[in-house]
Amino acid sequence: MPLLKNPISLAQSQTKISRRRAIRRMAGVSGVAAAPLVLPARVFGAAAPSKQITLGFVGLGNEGYGHNLKAMLVEKDARVVAVCDVMASRRTRARETVEKQYSATGCKEIADFRDLIARKDIDAVVISTPDHWHVPISLMALEAGKDVFCEKPTLTIAEGRTLVETVARHKAVFQVGLEDRSVIYYYRMAELVRNGAIGQLQTIHVKLPAGWAFPLEKPAPVPADLNWDMWLGPAPFHPFTPTRADSKHWRQVRDYSGGELTDWGAHIIDTAQVANFAERSGPVEVEGTGEIPPNSMATIFTTFKLHYRYANGVEMFVESGGVAIRFDGTDGWIGNNGWRGGLEGTSKELLRRKYPREGNKIWPMPPSEHRNFLDCVKSRQPTTYTAEAGQRLSTAMHIGNIAMELGRKLKWDPQSESFPGDEAANALCSRPARNDWMKR
């Protein structure tokens, strides 16, 4: 059963609900009338790059507020017109930051993301929620005609494919919020390996941070500041507990995330697949072991050791316990230690190699994911991290979690996106969704 029994129709129904509600409330939404006159960029067409792109933000925690909002606020051709979060204090903080940056009032605080999506004055939605909300909100925004910038990763393989198909159907611009292809260290590693600097690639070694256990907690009253039912959304209902909604904790819960494997793995494993020319396909085999701590609220693997094999024979070994990547080839090696760590390799000469644009086996390094997204909204060209790229990356990590859950080696077919003849494994490619959160 897929995450959403019919993901596209659910997205459509939720969008319709939000539109009806928005129409009923329009007369009372003073922020719409009071906002500065910023017409959506689509009014002017893709050939008007001087016009501002209007943005609505959903999710204003550490990543949404500290990284994505602040990055977009300094872009001259973007204008943030609405902010949304399930926590009222975060909405207020974000609105005040926006209005201070623009030296103008009018940014609207919105409690329900469906009201934000229904606004006609928004070109694109920026989504920085917990993982289980990434695809459902993206689908609703796409159905409403918005372009989308959404944090990584997906929650399941099935929902990721639905997202790709929906982006294509609407001819939308979609950017996965993942900066690595714009970070020189990771770009250069991929460039050197793809261009043969270490000879024929043989193995890739990846280290990712381990997750952590945290104590079981008893249900507690929901803070007045928080809409807990909306935070849970399509995830199974669970009573509120004091730290469950903290980003340090929800990432360790299977209902909301794939753990550090899908969080940090999205960064480092993408570089691994790009260097291996596998960013449009993925592994063909995976096996591994992991540990879920007992007597803890953590329900996903916090330590893990995985072995992947690709169709070209390259093997990738992923284990918890640090942040690092190393590529070994027939003529040398290259890698780094730590996030954005300096490059190391067989020789300084290898690390200094330059490749002319003509004949280079990798694309030019793009600007930041935020700048790239805005440029693509105007040009209608594919972004650095398309929905398809995000799907292939997320899938590589999801099949690792599935292999650990089943405790055996799995064959994977990247073309059909399935485990051939393996009913038990295929059943874990999707999950049912809780729909009663929509009733208010």
Q: What's the pLDDT score for residue 51?
A: 84
Contact 182, 367 (CB under 8 A): yes
Query: Of 17-26, 321-330, 359-368, which gets the smallest average pLDDT?
Result: 17-26
Residues whose CB is less than 8 angstroms from the CB of residue 42 and which lie 6 or more positions away in sequence, other chains included: 123
Q: What are the domain boundaries of the chain?
A: 7-180, 183-362+387-438
Residue range 301-322: mean pLDDT, rounded: 98
Q: Compute φ and ψ for 215, nearest 5 degrees.
A: -60, 150
Fold classification of 183-362+387-438 (topology level): Dihydrodipicolinate Reductase; domain 2 (3.30.360)
- pLDDT for position 34: 34
Cα angle: 34, vertex 109, 106; to 5 degrees:
25
Q: Does the pLDDT of residue 91 top 90, yes or no?
A: yes
What tens digit of pLDDT does each residue of 39-62 get?
A: 455 544 443 444 899 999 999 999
Amino acid symbol at 386:
T
Task: Name the nearest CA neighbour of 301 among 180, 157, 398.
Answer: 398
Q: Per-residue confidence at 436, pLDDT binned at 50, 70, 90?
A: confident
What is the spatial distance between Cα 148 and Cα 249, in angstroms, rounded to a whole number? Answer: 26
Model confidence at 5: pLDDT above 90: no
Burial 118-135 (b: 16+ CB within 10 A, else e): bbebbbbbbbbbbbbbbb
The answer, yes or no, to whether residue 14 has pLDDT greater than 50, is: no
Residue with token string 């104590």: 215
Task: Look at domain 7-180 and name its CATH class.
Answer: alpha beta
Q: Could you check whether the bond before residue 153 is cis, i.e. omega within 30 degrees of 0?
A: yes
Q: Give residue 1's pLDDT.
A: 32
Mean per-residue pLDDT over the chain, rounded: 90
The whole-number pLDDT of residue 327 equals: 98
Helices marked H in 200-323: 228-232, 247-250, 260-275
Q: Are 176 and 150 in contact (CB under 8 A)?
A: yes
Burial class (CB within 10 angstroms; exposed 0-12, middle 13-18, buried 19+) of 167:
buried
What pTM does this model have? 0.89
The reported pLDDT for the residue numbered 44 is 43
pLDDT at residue 31 in the model: 32
| Contact assessment for residue 368 and residue 69, using Cβ atoms and an 8 Å cutoff | no
Name the residue with tokens 């409690």: 111
Whether residue 19 has pLDDT greater than 90: no
Nearest to 137 by CA among 440, 439, 438: 438
> What's the residue count for the chain?
440
Tracing tokens 């919020």 back to the chain, one arrives at 177
| Higher pLDDT pick, 409 / 4 | 409
pLDDT digits (tens, 9 = 90+) for 376-418: 999 999 999 999 999 999 999 999 999 999 999 999 999 999 9
pLDDT score at 439: 62
Distances (CA, A) of 118 to 85, 144, 145: 16, 7, 10
Token pair for 107: 């940014």
Res. 11: pLDDT tops 80: no
pLDDT in tens, 123-148: 999 999 999 999 999 999 999 999 99
Q: Is the dihedral of CA 380, 385, 387, 392 positive or negative?
A: positive
Whether pLDDT at 274 is above 60: yes
DSSP-derived 3-state class of residue 162: helix
CA distance linking residue 143 with residue 440, whole number of Å = 22
Q: What is the pLDDT of residue 295?
A: 93
> DSSP states of 330-350 as a string?
TTEEEEEESTTPPPEES-HHH
- Whether the pLDDT of residue 429 is over 50: the answer is yes
- Comparison of pLDDT for 23 and 428, the residue scoring more: 428
Q: What pLDDT is stored for residue 123 in this prediction?
A: 98
Number of H helices, E strands in the chain: 16, 14
